[in-house]
Amino acid sequence: MKTIFTHSLMNYMARLFALIMVVFFAQFTLADEVKEKRSRSEREIERARAQVAKQREEIRKEYYKVRDAYHASVKDYRKVKEISVNSVDFPFDLKYKGLIELSEDNKMVTGISANGFVEINKTSFGNNRRLFIHADDKGTITYEYFVGKTETAFNPEGKKWLSEILPDIVKRSDLGVESRVRHLYENKGLSGVLEAMEDLPSGSTYTYSSDWNVFTIKTTSSRSGRSASKKTFLKTLVFDNRLKNKDLIPVLEEIGELSSNSTKGTLIRFILENYDLDNAQLAEVLDATSTHSYNTERGSTLRIFNKYYTDDFEIRKAYFDIIEDMEINSEKGNVIKHLVKTAKLSENSWISMLQAVDEFSSEREKGAVLLFLIKYMPDNEEVMDEFREVLDDMSDSYYILKGEITSALLDAALESGNRKGTKSTLLNYLKTARGISSNSQRGLILRKANRLFINDEEVVDVYFETLNGLDSEMEMYNVMLDLLNRNKLEEAAMYRLLRTLDRLVGDFQHGTGAVMREVVAQFPLSDSNYNQFFRLINRMDQNSTIEELLRYVIDSPSMNDNLATKIIESTQQIDVDVERASVLVRLSKHINRNNSSTAYIFKSMAKDLDSEYEKNRVLRTLE
């Protein structure tokens, strides 16, 4: 394949260079002849142009043909898991595809999913042996055993050889991990699984190699055998087994030790949503969450945790300790805003929350959170005293914002019901704001306008023109969050809001994600607004933000086949298999098996996963 592609590419470049030279000299020569034989030159130019167009089309077709062949080769390659283990004590080469079932003693391959295979190569003292075990489309297994280049009967010699080397191979790879963990958990309980993880070799270094067939690029990574498989052991244990109640805390402790933020977050969120946890277990969830190094993963997990938040002292302290340790102020604010909307908080929780807000390093975000909290504030003197203390601690440089918060507190105290101003009053208010250069002052006016907002074409135009005049992404995002929290937007206003998010999605994705989560709460949308919504997702590159948004859409009461298709397509933006697979698993219950198109796209996306384990986890949901 490499030779074909290289030859075709060189041929393509040579023909393109020749084509450029033909056009250059043809035009140079023809320019001199125009004065004498104009009509003849015009005909020659037309013929030259026709020839150039024809050659360009031929080259284009050749290029696309070679490119498609390249992509096809890469796609076929990725279907196979290939591992080369170069440890001194036990070197071997392993390739496999599909779901592999092992015997309980890990000495025999007892099953392979349809069209899967296992190939083992091992050289010892100059003696090379190879075993190729493959299944047909019905799962019937065939064994092919070679000593050197000579095929030898599998039974008894090959079977004996496999039983001797397979236990060491499974320790150093993910081969058959599903059945290994299942057998261990069923027969020996969690201690058996944990002992097996501890037994994974850690003294040797293994090289996992990938050879790309086209450019001969070899990518190599080295890692400890124990860390190589621990992650897959835990994923299999959590996703494929129903954990016993007494095992949840030790499993969460193991999850907290994982280095992969994506895997850690996905496993924690899975346990949160699938088990009825007591306070001790919830406290352990928070302990594991605190080990995240990514703010967005912490935020994504805490927003799920908010449904289970309790006023237990240990939980309250651990929860707000995590928020105070987060570095991104807007993500901290988003978690707190979601908490007050989701949970009924005690006086102690309110005070702890306000103390966490007081630690924000961004005065603008601190003020935005205080404004948000006003409508949820309990009638409690202790809470109000803490609120005023946080407000007083804000820098005097933000006197306009502090004045707005004070005014809002007064409005809340005096307000007796929802009152809407007239259209003319609102328009005058917004038009005045266009002449103000200060982001804080303009944001103040827009938030005031949010209380009077009307879904009127002229109002929408003036409002978003004023909003887009802001040059602070933080101010824009806070204004839009406030707008969505106070109003149900109709199609035109929602379209303008989603278009405005184009300015934020590049450099302020967690803020964009926060606004889009509020948009989901206003589903269903029009087709054009759905397209705009998913176009924003497809511009993102933060895995946790994308996964969380897709999760929100899947859990929306407005889920339908059309949304399912868009979600499947958007999972391509997630480049971590465990999070992409989790979205597909969550989506599976909405896949209409009678809709062949949707089911086909779903299966195709699942099969495109690099991880054989995640691929099989998704595909099993359709069985």
The whole-number pLDDT of residue 486 equals 92
Residue bearing the bigger pLDDT, 28 or 592: 592
Q: How far apart are CA 365 and CA 592, in angstroms?
A: 43
Contact predicate 393/358, CB 8 Å: yes
The pLDDT of 566-575, averaged and rounded, is 94
User: pTM (2 decimals)?
Assistant: 0.72
Residue/partner pairs of 522-527 with CB below 8 Å, 24 or more apart: 522/484, 522/488, 522/489, 522/494, 523/553, 523/556, 523/557, 523/558, 524/558, 525/491, 525/494, 526/491, 526/494, 526/495
Q: What is the number of other CB atoms lying within 10 angstroms of the CB of residue 115? A: 14
The pLDDT of 100-117, averaged and rounded, is 88
Q: How far apart are CA 448 and CA 442, in angstroms?
A: 10
Q: What is the DSSP string of 203-220?
A: SSEEEEEEE-TTT--EEE
Strands 117-124 and 109-112: unpaired
Backbone angles phi, psi at 119, to 5 degrees: -130, 125
Q: How far apart are CA 70 and CA 309, in angstroms?
A: 51
The whole-number pLDDT of residue 209 equals 43
Place of tokens 């392979």: 112
The whole-number pLDDT of residue 64 equals 53
The pLDDT of 539-556, averaged and rounded, is 94
Maximum separation of any 2 CA atoms in the chain, in Å:
99
In the CATH hierarchy, which fold is given to the domain comprising 225-414? Leucine-rich Repeat Variant (1.25.10)
Residue/partner pairs of 346-352 with CB below 8 Å, 24 or more apart: 346/311, 347/378, 347/380, 347/382, 347/383, 348/311, 348/316, 349/309, 349/311, 349/316, 350/377, 350/378, 350/380, 350/383, 350/386, 351/382, 351/383, 351/386, 352/316, 352/317, 352/320
> In the chain, where are the structural domains located?
2-78, 81-188+202-222, 225-414
With pLDDT > 90 as the criterion, what percentage of the chain qualifies?
A: 47
Q: How far apart are CA 281 and CA 609, in angstroms?
A: 32
Q: Would you state the structure tokens that stand for residue 150, as one six-digit string?
A: 């000579």
Backbone angles phi, psi at 576, to 5 degrees: -110, 120
**Which range among 55-64, 128-137, 316-325, 596-605 shows the weakest confidence by mean pLDDT?**
55-64
The pLDDT of 244-258, averaged and rounded, is 95
Q: How confident is the model at residue 580 (pLDDT cuts 50, 70, 90)?
A: very high
Over residues 410-442, the pLDDT tens digits come to: 677 656 444 445 677 678 667 766 766 788 878
Place of tokens 């303009």: 442
> Hey, which of 61-75, 110-124, 263-277 has the most confident mean pLDDT?
263-277
Backbone angles phi, psi at 220, to 5 degrees: -130, 135
Residue/partner pairs of 568-575 with CB below 8 Å, 24 or more apart: 568/598, 568/601, 568/602, 568/605, 569/534, 569/538, 569/601, 570/534, 570/537, 570/538, 570/546, 571/605, 572/605, 573/537, 573/538, 573/540, 573/541, 573/546, 574/543, 574/546, 574/547, 575/543
Instruction: Please count the CA atoms within 13 angstroms of the CA of 277 that sit on its side-chain side.
Output: 26
The pLDDT of 88-108, averaged and rounded, is 83
Q: How far apart are CA 58 and CA 50, in angstroms?
A: 12
The whole-number pLDDT of residue 204 equals 41
Name the DSSP class of 613.
H
Contact predicate 319/302, CB 8 Å: yes
Q: Would you state the structure tokens that stand for residue 507, as one six-digit string?
A: 């450099």
Q: How far apart are CA 583 and CA 574, in angstroms?
A: 10
Q: How far apart are CA 62 and CA 20, in angstroms?
A: 17
The pLDDT of 342-366, averaged and rounded, is 95
Is the pLDDT score of 333 beyond 50? Answer: yes
Residue type, 287: D
Q: Is 551 helix (H, G, I), strand (E, B) or coil?
A: helix
The whole-number pLDDT of residue 410 equals 60
* Gap between the terminal Cα atoms of the chain: 36
Q: How far apart are CA 550 and CA 15, in angstroms?
A: 47
Q: How far apart are CA 251 and CA 350, in angstroms?
A: 31
**Which range among 92-96, 114-118, 125-129, 261-265 shows the weakest confidence by mean pLDDT?**
125-129
The whole-number pLDDT of residue 14 equals 62
The whole-number pLDDT of residue 397 equals 85
Residue/partner pairs of 528-531 with CB below 8 Å, 24 or more apart: 528/491, 528/495, 529/491, 529/494, 529/495, 529/498, 530/562, 530/563, 530/566
Contact predicate 81/96, CB 8 Å: yes
Backbone angles phi, psi at 142, to 5 degrees: -125, 140
Which residues have a Cβ under 8 Å from the Cβ of 258 and sit 6 or more positions away?
A: 230, 231, 234, 264, 267
Could you tell me which of 141, 173, 179 has the C-alpha nearest to residue 158? 141
Is the pLDDT score of 372 beyond 90? Answer: yes
The whole-number pLDDT of residue 34 equals 46
Residue/partner pairs of 137-146 with CB below 8 Å, 24 or more apart: 138/114, 139/111, 139/112, 139/113, 139/114, 141/109, 141/111, 141/112
Could you tell me which of 449, 419, 410, 416 has the C-alpha nearest to residue 431? 449
Query: What integer best gives the mean pLDDT of the chain?
Result: 82
Sign of torsion over alpha carbons 170, 172, 177, 180: positive
Q: Is 293 helix (H, G, I), strand (E, B) or coil?
A: coil
